[in-house]
Structure 1
Amino acid sequence: MNRRQLGLGVASATLALGSAARAQQVYMQRSPEATAFYNSFTDQIGRLPQDQQPDVRAFYELNGWRPVWTRERLRDLNAVAARAERHGLSGADQFDFVGLAADPATSDLRTTAAALAYARILAEGKVRPETVEELWEMQKNRVDLPRGLNDALSRGVLLDWYEGLAPTDIGYTNLSAGYVRYSRLANQGGWPAFAAGATIEPGASDRRVPALIDRLTAEGDLSAADGARLKAQGLVYDSELQAAVRSFQTRHGLGADGRVGPATQRSLGASAQDRARQIALNLERRRWLKRDVAPERIEVNTAAAIMVYWKDAKPVHSNRVVVGSHDNQTPSLEKPFASVVANPPWYVPAGIARREILPKGPGYLAANDMYVSNGTVIQRAGPKSALGYVKFELRDSYAIFLHDTPSKAAFNLSMRQRSHGCVRVQGAVEFARLLLSPDPAKLEQFDVAQDSRETTRVTTGREISVRLLYWTAFVDGQGRVAFREDVYDRDAKLAQALGIAVSLPRVVDDGRKDENDVGP
């Protein structure tokens, strides 16, 4: 052990002794009841899971080593546990607080441990995000749970305290309501299975039409009355039913063409239980995140390939985006940006240059306005630049940024996960103008640069937070639960970590790879 390690060890030991001494001092000043409880506590604490012990010890230090769980408080705690379904939590997470009270000798300590463990799931999630995503750098939610529980008990507001631990924003609460709905659908038997087969074309007659109607009715794409009426009309796939299918396709991020083809049939094949469990995974992801978010921010949902710009805490603008492919995934990041670059050159990352550009030879470089300088491939600013006419610079973002692109066709695809990891923004120049519009001088500077095609950096005059998220279930602008397939296989990994069995449709790619598209 070196001197620094020895010093750290001594310091840690000193802190531990200090904490023990403080605890000893507290309990010596307490009543015989507190002294007896402290002695019992020291015998029992080691039997708890290691990760629960610090919170439990901190709680009892705060409350003076007194038992806390009266019959009334246990009743409130069980009322809290009864609401677990709203958070998409499985039976294993719905603690039986009454059962814990069965052994009087250990009930108070075990109940406190369970109450704090459940509170941590609501406040911060059950799984550490870094264990299920290769790169996750968001602002985590952090709560002093021992102090919060002690305060809630002393003020008699246990239910209110627990209600405030999970996210309270409309995105979470609406998705929570969606989970309850889909879970109850599953418990009632779900919807009829839809048999895969040939594409159902508009105007055709097909024996699967009744099952299709039942499926669309169950999720609300058709009303119950309209569904019953259409079933009575026979097996024809008419215009009214096509409109309901287009609604279903839009909710699932599919091409809304009204044809019941392979991609639509795969989504129709998901069970109600699987969709409920997919919602539960996304509720867990939301619990990881810090509750206070910037009122002005850009959020990119990489699973849906959609960007939303928030101003004054309201969504004011949305765009389609192209994000990283399965093999070049856009990570989960939260970074600020404060400048845009008009007419940016592209400094090609070494890996892309080595694999996709240099093997094509000098002719390819010349045809695409590229040259090599000090071993780096650089693409000049201009109409062929892979960054288009504007780049949004993120700070310390692992070379991940938002930008324009000359490859516009990909925005028309339903599956838009096909970049090298950066985020390509539809209508990027106009979006940049929107961000700069609060300062007319900066907007003019940007417009002059666009007219002259000179490379120009324009500061926004403020930091704007950019959040890159992965949400495969969310509530859309019409209040409906929308789903996206698990392009990055992150649902599967999170489900395994949570012990949830889920079987989701595989993605159907609706576009060929453009061999000339080598942008970031």
Structure 2
Amino acid sequence: MRNRVLPSALIAALLAGTTAHAQQAPAPTPPPEVRFAPPAMQTTPLPPAAPQPIALPRLSPEQMQQLSTLLAEGGYAHGLRHEALARPLPTDNDGLVRAALDYARAVHSGRLAEEDFKEDWGLRPAAYNPVPDFAAAVQSNRLGRWFAMLAPGYAGYDGLQKGLANYRAIEKAGGWSQVAAGPDLTVGASGPRVRALRKRLAVEDKTVVATGDRFDIELKAAVQRAQRRYGLNPTGTVSTGTLAALNVSAGARVKQIMANMERWRWLPAELAQKRIQVNIAAAVLTVFDGDQPIMSMKGVTGRPGDETPMLQSAIHSVVVNPPWNVPTGIAQRELWPKGPGYLARNGFKVIGTGPTKRLQQQAGPLSALGRFKFDFDNKYAVYLHDTPAQAKFASFDRLASHGCVRVEKPADLAELLLRDDPEWNAATLQAAVDEGKTQRVKLPEQVSVYLLYWTAFASANGTMNFRADPYSWDAELADKIEKRSTIQAETIAE
């Protein structure tokens, strides 16, 4: 049987905006070492050998019928296309086998090709060759079992798959009508907009009475449930933000689920035991030990235009009292225009002269990095850090950084990461902060960190939860999945 993670231990973290699981991207393959033979040893290279064709398994008539059924249903069920299958499946042995192998790669490791990835989508699936396992399944006549084992082995993926079937059915039935714009709706309101609200809520929440035109206490509770499902402040009042979430179409929700299922497929089969996960879209950080969330806090992630990238790395050190080496673009856009007086008052130091001069903000209470920085290697030059600007943590919309992740409780996080180092505890960390000196503290053991973009997930009872798509990545990814599926089907048919 497939090894599913324990959903009950992770649902609370999911509802807080994190994900049941997320995983590391495979390490990039280093370039091969290049050696040159001395001149006397150089010879004319042989032409590359022609690739040997792969011997495809031979299917029995019963297996061909079974495979056709599995393929016709599978791509739709796993969100590899939004629309129903438009192109007939191959009817010959080799064509059908090639379609099965293509499907296996897509469900196991993602539909996208390398050129489909955006720069900020820094997670990449591991290469997967389905041929040996497929051949074994044909030989042992266990195609159905093999198909069932292809998808990511996580409860989070299973929940999305069930949610996909539900929202496809809603879309097929006509979806829901939009609630018209107008004044805020709250207890005591009445009229056609309240009737529309009841009808809309009842599609996703079967406890709602779909008829009636009065906004009562029961309807307020239903609005609050919806607001929690959408990651909004559960005020019970339908204002602009709640109205916008309710008016996202069922078709768009289907695409959102498709996109999140694809992101699961980019992740490897195993997570690091000790890890930090950041849900970029929800701006929530959660620390896990195995399947158990042991710490969670709010974050502030990149605003649209300064997106926080999806990536996997490992935190190797904590910097106490870090200075801020200001990126050139930020300095030019936001700081140099404010003049030398502002720079001096806020602890900025000009380093160098001429076109290569740069800004560094000195460590201290004014530093944009606060008192703690959590370093991990990545090509985007992002990291986790403290901040003196605490007000944003009280907001439900916490996308405001230049791409790094600000953390709500940096001292607690530093203490947790250093708990196996006998030299560091809450008291010694505070003493180091008070000293004001910049210190880099290496972790006893590196801790994996995952920056992930989760905008759809299922709770323990199967209810779908959605978050806003601040970077507009969901629809783009769903469209890429659809396009790539079409291209692959056309290639196989040729």
So what's the TM-score if we normalise by structure 2? 0.82
Task: Tell me what 1:242 maps to.
Answer: 220
Structure showing the higher helix proportion among its residues: 1
Task: Tell me what 1:14 maps to.
Answer: 48
| Greater shift in the superposed pair: 191-200 or 119-128 | 191-200
In 2, distance between residues paired with 1:75 and 1:209? Answer: 51
In 1, distance between residues paired with 2:112 and 2:245? Answer: 28
- Once the 2 structures are TM-superposed, how far is the Cα of residue 152 of structure 1 from its aligned partner? 1.8
Change (3 A) 1:260 1:427: same
In 1, distance between residues paired with 2:325 and 2:112? Answer: 37
Asked if 2 retains the 8 angstrom alpha-carbon contact of 1:196 and 1:266, the reply is no
Aligned-partner SS, 1:300: strand
Identity of aligned residues (%): 38
Task: Tell me what 2:54 maps to.
Answer: 58
Asked if 2 retains the 8 angstrom alpha-carbon contact of 1:442 and 1:458, the reply is no
- Once the 2 structures are TM-superposed, how far is the Cα of residue 474 of structure 1 from its aligned partner? 2.0
Change (3 A) 1:324 1:336: same
Aligned-partner SS, 2:417: helix
Verify: 1:410 aligned to 2:401, yes or no.
Answer: no
Task: State the one-letter code of the partner of 2:198.
Answer: I
Verify: 1:464 aligned to 2:447, yes or no.
Answer: yes
When Rg is computed on C-alpha atoms for both structures, the one with the higher figure is 1
The one of 154, 171, 194 aligned to 2:139: 154
Task: Tell me what 2:367 maps to.
Answer: 385
Verify: 1:350 aligned to 2:318, yes or no.
Answer: no
Task: Tell me what 1:452 maps to.
Answer: 435
Task: Tell me what 1:88 maps to.
Answer: 79
Task: Tell me what 1:166 maps to.
Answer: 151
Task: State the one-letter code of the partner of 1:181.
Answer: N
Verify: 1:176 aligned to 2:200, yes or no.
Answer: no
Aligned-partner SS, 2:457: strand
Task: Tell me what 1:481 maps to.
Answer: 464
Change (3 A) 1:77 1:92: farther
Asked if 1 retains the 8 angstrom alpha-carbon contact of 2:331 and 2:359, the reply is yes
Change (3 A) 1:397 1:100: closer
Verify: 1:326 aligned to 2:304, yes or no.
Answer: yes
- Once the 2 structures are TM-superposed, how far is the Cα of residue 8 of structure 1 from its aligned partner? 12
The one of 114, 117, 134 aligned to 2:102: 117
How many residue pairs were aligned?
Answer: 438
Aligned-partner SS, 2:423: helix
Task: State the one-letter code of the partner of 1:86.
Answer: A
Higher relative contact order (CA 8 A, sep 6+): 2
Q: Deviations over 1:401-457 (max 9, x none)?
A: 010111111122222222111111111221222222243433354343134333222
- Once the 2 structures are TM-superposed, how far is the Cα of residue 92 of structure 1 from its aligned partner? 6.7
So what's the TM-score if we normalise by structure 1? 0.78
The one of 412, 417, 438 aligned to 1:435: 417
Asked if 1 retains the 8 angstrom alpha-carbon contact of 2:415 and 2:424, the reply is no
Asked if 2 retains the 8 angstrom alpha-carbon contact of 1:342 and 1:389, the reply is yes
Q: Deviations over 1:487-512 (max 9, x none)?
A: 11222322332348xxxxxxxxxxxx
Task: Tell me what 2:272 maps to.
Answer: 294
The one of 205, 219, 222 aligned to 2:190: 205
- Once the 2 structures are TM-superposed, how far is the Cα of residue 386 of structure 1 from its aligned partner? 0.4
Change (3 A) 1:168 1:295: same
Change (3 A) 1:287 1:94: farther
Change (3 A) 1:318 1:325: same
Asked if 1 retains the 8 angstrom alpha-carbon contact of 2:68 and 2:96, the reply is no
Asked if 2 retains the 8 angstrom alpha-carbon contact of 1:123 and 1:142, the reply is no
Aligned-partner SS, 2:181: coil
In 1, distance between residues paired with 2:115 and 2:467? Answer: 22
Task: State the one-letter code of the partner of 2:48.
Answer: T
Change (3 A) 1:179 1:357: same
| Greater shift in the superposed pair: 371-380 or 197-206 | 197-206
Change (3 A) 1:91 1:217: closer
- Once the 2 structures are TM-superposed, how far is the Cα of residue 207 of structure 1 from its aligned partner? 2.4
